[in-house]
Structure 1
Amino acid sequence: MMKLVKLSDKVFYLPGVEELDRPFLYYIKGSNYSIAIDAGSCKSHVQEFYQELKNEGMKLPKYTIITHWHWDHTFGMPYVHGKTIASELTNNKLKEVSQWKWTLKEMKMREQTGEDMAFCNECICKVYKDVSQICVIPSYIEIDSITQLDLGGVTLSLIPRDSTHSRDALFVYFHEEKMLFVGDADCEDHYEENGTYNKKRLRSLIAFIEGIDFEIYLLGHDLPSNKEETLEYLNKKYQELISN
């Protein structure tokens, strides 16, 4: 079982598990209430996260913010404490996915139509011994513009926008500690771009990141980085795109 990692007095995370495509789950502690970022891939993922919070004497989150619709960040939503928050685009997609049938046959058919990917289904089958137990729900709260939360000594901006990974990214900026939580927003697009970057979206993402005053960069599937390293990496990817 993964152990909770303390990033600051107010920010903690449960590391991901690469072989299960399990993302990092984040916790931000305010003096009035706390929030989580992403709901994880299944009930046991949520339970492990909460057990680690309890072990550290911390309250369960009042809200769980969803960074985008992909299964590894959302299939734990039915099991979270408190209410979930997602963008309108994420919710629209979750409503669609909630109508999907979960059998191996149906999953294979969605691979063939391009609705879903073999890689996702392979990981889902590692996490779920019985895929019929999968339950997908939309978020309780839906936002369609920049929204601020005051947790008590913690000010967060929730910023919905397009990204290189999906159309429904929701960025979370922690003002006081200059942290930017991005989920998978700077990754390649495996649904519309066959696992590559879209040049226009990558340029737009770089400009967006350049315009935010942050020092720590929190990712969905990797260890924290910083602004300089992030921009160096993304600009390198952009140069590779335009040189081909």
Structure 2
Amino acid sequence: MLNKLSETIYYLSNQDDRERPTLGLVCGDQFSLVIDAGNSTQHAQEFLHEIEKLNLPPIKYLVVTHAHRDHILGMNEFGAITIVNRQTNELLKEWQSYKFDDQSLQQYVHTHQISAKCMEIIQAEIPNRDSFQLNAPQIIFDNTLTIDLGNKVCIIEKITSTHTNDSTIVYIPDEKVVFLGDAAYGTTTNSLFHFKQASLLPMIEDIQKYDANMFLLGHESICDTVEMTIYWEELTTANQAVTSTSLENAIACFKGENQRDPNDNELFFLKAFVNDRILQSQ
């Protein structure tokens, strides 16, 4: 079921048990724009089925926020002009070369190109896998792109991110709503979950320059300004305390700077920033 954020913005909530991110829909007077394609053809088709229940302008554009498979594998279903930044396009080329038969998928799992869970979802939710091939995007931009859907402007921007190097966000100025995809999250490298320290403050600056009241995230669905402010404060406070590969030192520094123990979120972030230090030292 679609959630209605406003008269012109809808979203389908994330389902983390099925590795499905939030999908967005922005409607103008003439056209609609979809944000992220879903983790499979089935995911995309379920989203489209919900959209068809409403009397909305036709979908003309699809924006993919980054090239992780849970955001891209439903691309073919929308029949829309697909928009990606140039770096995402380069990453999609690898996915376009993939084969999706069982033997190929098992090989990708063996070589750690995809996870076993990813293979299970593809096998269950993408029919005709022997002939399935991901389509190429039609619009490739470098930094910023503005789309007018008919009295509804969407600003599409590639930003610095702690999650990937190819993150795109979508801002709707008249609604003060921004779709962040997974941009504000950390990532996993060599089995270590980490937040990229070098990217944190530039990312927050990129996002906070937009006057937004509501934030749609890939795996939390929706946050308001208060929730995002707390999130940024916890991240930056933890970040400031991490100057080495020692979690013990980071916790001690945090206590010294803040005169209190870190809360559960801050402790999680401290570990993630320490992991980033460890990865950078390797």
Q: TM-score, normalized by length of structure 1?
A: 0.88
Give the equivalent residue in structure 2 for 1:176. Answer: 174
Identity rate, percent: 29
Q: Would the alpha carbon gap of residues 100 and 81 (structure 1) be closer, same or farther in structure 2, given more than 3 Å must change?
A: closer
Contact 1:53 1:59 in 2 (8 A): no
The answer to whether the aligner puts 1:38 opposite 2:29 as a matched pair is no
Give the equivalent residue in structure 2 for 1:199. Answer: 197
**Greater helix share, structure number:** 2
List aligned pairs for 1:125-144, cutoff 5 A: 125-128=123-126, 132=130, 134-144=132-142
Q: Which amino acid in structure 1 is aligned with residue 170 of structure 2?
A: V
Q: TM-score, normalized by length of structure 2?
A: 0.77
Q: Would the alpha carbon gap of residues 190 and 123 (structure 1) be closer, same or farther in structure 2, given more than 3 Å must change?
A: farther
Q: Deviations over 1:74-124 (max 9, x none)?
A: 111111122111111111101112112335554455455554445544544
Give the equivalent residue in structure 2 for 1:79. Answer: 77
* Structure 1 runs not aligned, ≥5 long: none
Q: Which amino acid in structure 1 is aligned with residue 26 of structure 2?
A: I
1:105, 1:203 → 2: CA distance? 43
2:190, 2:61 → 1: CA distance? 30
Contact 1:20 1:126 in 2 (8 A): no
Counterpart of 1:62 in 2: which secondary structure?
Answer: strand
Q: Deviations over 1:41-100 (max 9, x none)?
A: 222222221221121122331111111111111111111122111111111101112112
Higher CA-based Rg: 2
Aligned CA RMSD, in angstroms, stands at 2.3
Q: Which amino acid in structure 2 is aligned with residue 240 of structure 1?
A: A
* Structure 2 runs not aligned, ≥5 long: 243-249, 251-273, 275-282
Q: Would the alpha carbon gap of residues 54 and 77 (structure 1) be closer, same or farther in structure 2, given more than 3 Å must change?
A: same
Q: Could you tell which deviates more after superposition, 176-185 or 153-162?
A: 153-162
Report the Cα offset of residue 187 of structure 1.
Answer: 1.2
* Selected match of 2:21 from 17, 20, 23: 23
Report the Cα offset of residue 138 of structure 1.
Answer: 2.4
Q: Deviations over 1:174-208 (max 9, x none)?
A: 01011111111111112478321111112221222
Report the Cα offset of residue 239 of structure 1.
Answer: 2.7
Give the equivalent residue in structure 2 for 1:221. Answer: 219
Give the equivalent residue in structure 2 for 1:101. Answer: 99
1:104, 1:65 → 2: CA distance? 29
